[in-house]
Amino acid sequence: MTGSGTSGGDGGTSGTQRRLALLLGAGFAVILAAITVANAESMMSDFASAGVAVTRTHVWVWEVSSIIAWLSLAPPIWYLIAKVRPPRFAWVQVALILVVATVPVSAWHIGVMIVLRKIFYAFEGQAYHFFGPLKNPLLYEYRKDVGTYLQWAGMAAIAQWLLANAGTAPPSRQEPGATFLAVADGAVTHQVPAVEIDQVVAAGNYVEIGWGTRTLLHRATLATVEAELGDGFVRIHRSRIVRRAAIRRVETDRSGDFTIDLANGVTVRGSRRFRAALQA
């Protein structure tokens, strides 16, 4: 679908997203610090009530090592949520993927946590034993990890939704005569100006639209989108079109295939079959 429209511009959109990202990051850091302190102090209190001798240093080592392990999982959890959310996958498939992912996530968390604790204890001249008095510590940790993992996944989903909608321009600011794509994203429909689309890539029954720092999933064929966007875009591969004005550099291989540098810094590959269209 095409129509009239524009957005607030690349600078305004990315600036809004950067400010929101900083705000979300700061809020997450504060919450994480508060939870860490609360867990450590609660653990100390529980040990004292039970008459178990444990040093405050070791309690903090346990908590900090766990937090570091979770922080190392933040990028893959973020990536997973970005890739599996609807409409790319049905909700049932999303739920199944998230459940299956609990096993490697917990295994990584436990492994990193144990390694860090062993290093610290070795530095003290002691030995850390993960398999202590608990009958099945792996199952115990796994049950705790599932809850924490789902919380992190939920926060990632909310943050991605907020960031994706932070730079959406209201329809009232659109200029007459400009072409845009109406891209549905759940309950939100993005009005994406063609002049801000860098590339469109086929992805099964969908296309991935490169819009600034974001990638929107749009249910359409590449041929349909190419026809809607018009002559301002050129097909460089059977599964990719790019905006002509976004092309900054073209380097041709001996085979006739070529590499294109886009204005946003992304490098993409093109096929020799479409070299003539690029030169037209």
pLDDT digits (tens, 9 = 90+) for 116-147: 999 999 998 888 888 766 578 888 889 989 99
Q: Angle at CA 16, nearest 5°, toward 12 and 18? A: 115
pLDDT at 171: 43
How much is the mean pLDDT over the chain? 82
| Residues near 135 by beta carbon (within 8 Å), at least 6 away in sequence | none
Q: State the pLDDT confidence band at 165, using cuts at 50, 70 and 90.
A: low
pLDDT at 134: 59
**For residue 279, is pLDDT > 90?**
no
Condensed to tens digits (0 to 9), the pLDDT of residues 216-246 reads: 888 889 999 998 888 899 999 999 999 999 8
b/e per residue, 235-265, with b = 16+ CB within 10 A?
Answer: bbbeebbbbeebbeeeeeeeeebbebebeee
Condensed to tens digits (0 to 9), the pLDDT of residues 174-221 reads: 444 458 888 887 677 888 888 889 999 998 888 999 887 788 888 889
**For residue 55, is pLDDT > 90?**
no
This prediction has a pTM of 0.59
Q: How far apart are CA 97 and CA 95, in angstroms?
A: 6
| Residues near 188 by beta carbon (within 8 Å), at least 6 away in sequence | 164, 165, 168
pLDDT at 114: 93
Q: What is the percent of the chain with per-residue pLDDT over 90, rounded to a whole number?
A: 31
Nearest to 114 by CA among 129, 133, 135, 132: 129
pLDDT at 133: 62
Average pLDDT estimate for 83-102: 84
Q: State the pLDDT confidence band at 87, using cuts at 50, 70 and 90.
A: low
Q: What is the percent of the chain with per-residue pLDDT over 70, rounded to a whole number?
A: 85
Condensed to tens digits (0 to 9), the pLDDT of residues 259-275 reads: 999 888 888 999 999 98
